Amino acid sequence: MGWTIFANTPALMTELADTNLLTYIQKNQNTPLKTILSILLQISQALEFIAEQGIIHRDVACRNILIIFDENNIIAKLADFGLCCLFGDTLTPRNSIYKRFPIKWLSIEALINCEFSEKSDVWAFGILCYETFSLGAVPYSDMSNSEMIEFLQSGQRLKCPMKTPHLIYDLMQNCWKKEPKDRPKFNEISFHLRSMLEKETANYGYLNLKTSSLKIIHI
């Protein structure tokens, strides 16, 4: 195996992943809720870690989460740092926003003012949660970019995907607060996801995403 990189360019090497989260959730529509919560917690912890290092990812989405099957466990890893930047180095020319960035995952302040921060990654994490519970649906799929911006500026947000636990949709809505300061930090998100996972593990709960109602099955 070989590789080529520019001198002094940081590089990230990981083991070969089995799939990505988008493909996984599309192919495994009966995934237990506790498995989904575990994956989301791992992603939140990864984003919490890079925020502590002063890094903004700027491309948080299901397609950029590697999934590795390890015996009976699923390991999720944050990948694709091609758009990341450091805190304090977040000014981005407006014309490059629409050429380079995943528009439908961007926060209001990124779309309008080209401003990025941990809180813009938090917004994108909320979109990732929407993707996960909608089985990989594209957000704002029936809107153009301009329609989406108008929709968000009017205070509207994505609807709750079917079978999504209310605590998860509450989390999504908190991630989509208009003002960045009103959104949770990743350490807070990790805390809440960990609490939900512990409760779900204790209840042996499973979420059937294909059924017409949320069912908790005790085994």
Q: Which residues are catalytic?
A: 59
Beta bridge partners of 22: none
Nearest to 106 by CA among 79, 139, 135: 139
User: Which residues on adjacent β-strands are paired with residue 67?
Assistant: 19, 76
How do 65-70 and 73-78 pair as beta strands?
antiparallel
Task: Please give the backbone phi and psi of residue 62, each rounded to the nearest 5 degrees, phi first.
Answer: -55, -35
How many CA atoms lie less than 13 Å away from 161 in the CB half-sphere?
Answer: 22
